[in-house]
A = this chain, B = another copy of it.
Amino acid sequence: MTIYINQCQHYLPNDPVDNSLLAERFGLNADWVSLFLGNRSRYFTTDLKTGEIKNSLADIATQAAQKAMEIEQIGCEDLDFIVMATATPDQLMPATVNLVAEKLGAANIATFQLQSGCTGAMQAVSMARALLLSGEYRRGLIIGADVCTKFIDPLKDYSQSEANEQINFALFGDGAGAMIMSTQATGLRWKLTQFECHYTGLDLPPGQIVNWRGLRDSDDTMLMEDYKAIEKHVPGLAAEILDSLSTQTAGEVDWYLPPQLSGRMTHNIIRHLGLKDDQVISCVHETGNNGNALPFVQLSHLQDRIEDNQTALLIAIESSKWLKSGLVLEQEAI
């Protein structure tokens, strides 16, 4: 049985936040953000000036889903399941995927929400693939979305914060992506030919921590990025996936969608992998690191460039507890 990606769309909330606006709000240096992170802009669900929360995770996920469904010209009755991946759910219960189902007007549909970081989108594709291969489901909606809103305090003065706190705001963004997958060669006709998604089991401490609080206050670290560990290990893990998927792929790969950590880190990974710039599709320098949305944003840019019979290889690495993942797709000719 062949599994197809039929549509892939994304939604970025509100106006882009450029480095000068970001720098002003968080006490950063705009030139430093450009140089050190290599990001030019990002999108936030919270208005940085007023602190107003303009969109929930469910809102932006629904927007992306509606775009994908509209282009595929399908309604909720044509969907058998929804799989959503996020690290930052609106609430712990109900799972946000059910709020998205409600907003879309779905009923009696299988819903799943994966708690995951950067490889969450690939885990969601993996699950969708298994659901379709099982023969019991015909078509599904796959969503990857994140908001960092709950980690920004609109009333706080960040100008005196420590650099490792400030950097989180410079690195991250909010966004959502949505795919339609099925066993039918409609829409984009992207045939999924290779797939991998693994916890590596590397004996390393977490490279990234995102924590939550209930009713108890806690001294636990709430946000942590170990940039040195990430810079050290992610290129090698990306190379492992590239190697593993390339050797299984007949013929040349035409397009590469590498891991999106920050503009600069992604640039370094591209060099490490020896990829040519004109074959690479990246987005993080413009979208910020919006976690589970990133692969969807890259794949939605891919559709403007890929041609029939061409192949694309996507790699996503999660440094939280060191997961690696990737896929190869081919655009089937009509």
Contact = CB atoms under 8 A, between A and B. Distances in A.
Interface in A103-146: 105-117, 123, 126-127, 129-131, 133-137
Give the interface size class of chain A: 35 or more
A115 B136 contact: no
B199 A111 contact: yes
Given A199-B110, A201-B108, A212 B117 contact: no
For this chain, the copies found in one complex come to 2
B212 A213 contact: yes
A196 to B, nearest CB: 9
A323 B93 CA distance: 12
Interface of A: 87-89, 91-95, 97-99, 101-102, 105-117, 123, 126-127, 129-131, 133-137, 148-154, 197-201, 206, 208-218, 222-223, 318, 320-321, 323
8 contacts: A88-B92, A94-B117, A94-B209, A95-B320, A99-B321, A112-B126, A150-B214, A215-B222
Given A91-B210, A130-B130, A133-B136, 20 more contacts: A87-B92, A89-B212, A91-B209, A92-B211, A93-B320, A94-B209, A94-B318, A94-B320, A94-B321, A98-B320, A98-B321, A98-B323, A106-B201, A110-B197, A111-B123, A113-B116, A130-B133, A150-B214, A211-B214, A214-B222
